[in-house]
């Protein structure tokens, strides 16, 4: 598919058509859509969404998960949004929302990908009974070349250093929300999951590290609301 660019450096192409962001994960899968963010092209999207329990869990299908190309601190990547949420009371606990999603990432020549930043904004009412985790595995073909994990409340961002630079990798992300409580009310939620790609020899700009501060600020607001 011929690459197309916006002045801002981000565009979504699916089924030969271009949309303003965001676009649903379901649409990208059904149309074999491609997302372009700067010099990075994201393709071959696959996903499975599983919900367990009789509490509240949203979104209920892949059409509710939105994909956005993003630029942060000079790096390019993707953001998943959609009000990811699980909640329950003792009579219908635990309730689990689990999204397993993967895609290919290709860097334009001469760039090579040698690191992956993973971050989240979200929280849970009563950890560790209610949890928010995002784990990631990075592949070069069939070979695992990196893995990472972020979770509330301790690790909101992780850098996966790859053993070398790659022109193309595949990432598999497992997003898990579990709400569980013996009395009262429990929830686990994510407002967004972000992934940025570092290139060989690049020193991230200050805006990249500002991503950590933004996540921590959001966490502080969430804690005050919970309290």
Q: Enter the DSSP assignment of 213.
A: H
Average pLDDT (16-23) is: 54
> 169-202 pLDDT, tens per residue?
999 999 999 999 999 999 999 999 999 999 885 5
Q: Enter the DSSP assignment of 61.
A: S
Q: Which of 99, 226, 107, 68 is nearest to 174 (CA)?
A: 99
> 53-71 pLDDT, tens per residue?
999 999 999 999 999 999 9
**Total H helices, total E strands in the chain:** 2, 15
| Architecture in CATH for domain 47-226 | Sandwich (2.60)
Radius of gyration, CA atoms only, the chain: 18
Q: First and final CA of the chain: distance in angstroms?
A: 50
Q: Which of 153, 77, 168 is nearest to 118 (CA)?
A: 77
| Kind and range of the H or E run holding 123 | strand 113-124
Domain ranges in the chain are: 47-226
Q: Enter the DSSP assignment of 22.
A: P
**Would you say 207 and 74 are in contact if contact means Cβ atoms under 8 Å apart?**
yes
pLDDT of residue 73: 86
Average pLDDT (77-99) is: 96
> 122-161 pLDDT, tens per residue?
999 999 999 999 999 999 999 999 999 999 999 999 999 9
Angle at 105 between CA 100 and CA 106, to 5 degrees: 165
Beta bridge pairs of residue 194: 79, 119
- pTM for this entry: 0.81
CB neighbour list of residue 2: distance below 8 Å, 6 or more residues apart: none
């Amino acid at each position: 598919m011929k690459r197309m660019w916006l002045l801002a450096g981000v565009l979504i192409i699916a089924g030969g058509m271009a949309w303003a962001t965001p676009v649903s994960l379901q649409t990208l899968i059904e149309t074999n859509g491609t997302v372009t963010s700067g010099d990075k092209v994201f393709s071959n999207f696959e996903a499975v969404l599983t919900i367990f329990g009789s509490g509240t869990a949203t979104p209920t299908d892949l059409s509710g998960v939105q994909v956005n190309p993003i630029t942060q601190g000079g790096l390019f990547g993707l953001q998943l949004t959609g009000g990811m949420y699980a909640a329950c009371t003792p009579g219908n606990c635990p309730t689990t929302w689990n999204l397993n999603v993967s895609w290919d990432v290709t860097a334009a020549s001469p760039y090579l990908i040698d690191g992956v930043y993973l971050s989240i904004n979200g929280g849970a009412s009563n950890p560790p009974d209610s949890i928010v985790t995002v784990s990631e595995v990075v592949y070069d073909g069939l070979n695992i070349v990196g893995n990472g994990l972020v979770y509330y409340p301790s690790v909101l961002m992780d850098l996966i250093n790859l053993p070398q630079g790659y022109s193309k990798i595949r990432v598999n992300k497992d997003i898990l929300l579990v709400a569980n409580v013996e009395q009262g009310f429990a929830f686990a939620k994510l407002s967004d999951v972000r992934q940025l790609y570092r290139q060989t020899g690049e020193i991230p700009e200050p805006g990249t590290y500002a991503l950590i501060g933004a996540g921590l600020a959001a966490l502080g607001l969430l804690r005050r609301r919970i309290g």
